[in-house]
Amino acid sequence: MKKLFLALVVLCGCCWLISGCSKNTPQITAINPSMTASIGTYNFTASTVVPSTLDTQSQQVGNIDSVENLYITGHTTDLVYTKDYIRLQLTRFDGLTGTFSIVQGQAGAVYFHNGVMSTAIGGIVAVTRITSNSIIGYFSFTTGDGISVTNGTFTVGLPDGMPL
């Protein structure tokens, strides 16, 4: 009788222990989205950084080709100019790392400050690393009205629906 009782206690203890174990589920590492840049003596720091994609259609010699554009928008933390932002665009983004030229039309950038939008006429946007949940890179550009945006960096999550 004692052996049967002991066996039941051990069996119940094992069941309790097994039911408390967690399943082997993949752990998703949350990223901390960020964007920073130097604009003259001003240090731009984004309070929010939002990635998004836009599918467009382009006509190429009678064939329709789907084109994916990646946009990364960083809104400032500045308490005075609360609507300032930097928007980066990668045209025909294929989910690979690389350096993309603004002059060659592979990328684009704008800096919106104090109600005025300054569009980039030269520079680069580079994607240095893509993980299962983030896109990391850097940028620098010069706008048509002479503003230099340098030492830019960004880290964002993958946009919704972007397969990699």
pTM recorded for the entire structure = 0.74
User: Average pLDDT in the 123-141 region?
Assistant: 95
Paired residues of 41 in beta bridges: none
Q: What is the pLDDT of residues 25-42, one digit of tens each?
A: 344 455 789 999 999 889
CA 78 from centroid of its chain's CA atoms: 21
Q: Which residues of 44-56 are buried (b: 16+ CB within 10 A; e: fewer)?
A: bebeebbbeeeee
Query: What single-letter amino acid sits at 119?
Result: T
160: pLDDT strictly greater than 80:
no
Q: At 70, is the pLDDT very low, low, confident or very high (cuts 50, 70, 90)?
A: very high
Q: At 66, is the pLDDT very low, low, confident or very high (cuts 50, 70, 90)?
A: low
User: Average pLDDT in the 36-50 region?
Assistant: 93
- Residue 120's nearest CA partner among 134, 100, 136 is 100
Q: What is the pLDDT of residues 73-127, one digit of tens each?
A: 999 988 888 889 999 999 988 888 999 999 999 999 999 998 899 999 999 999 9
Res 101: pLDDT: 98
Cα–Cα–Cα angle for 126, 41, 82, rounded to 5 degrees: 80
User: Average pLDDT in the 49-58 region?
Assistant: 74
13: pLDDT strictly greater than 80:
no
Res 52: pLDDT: 87
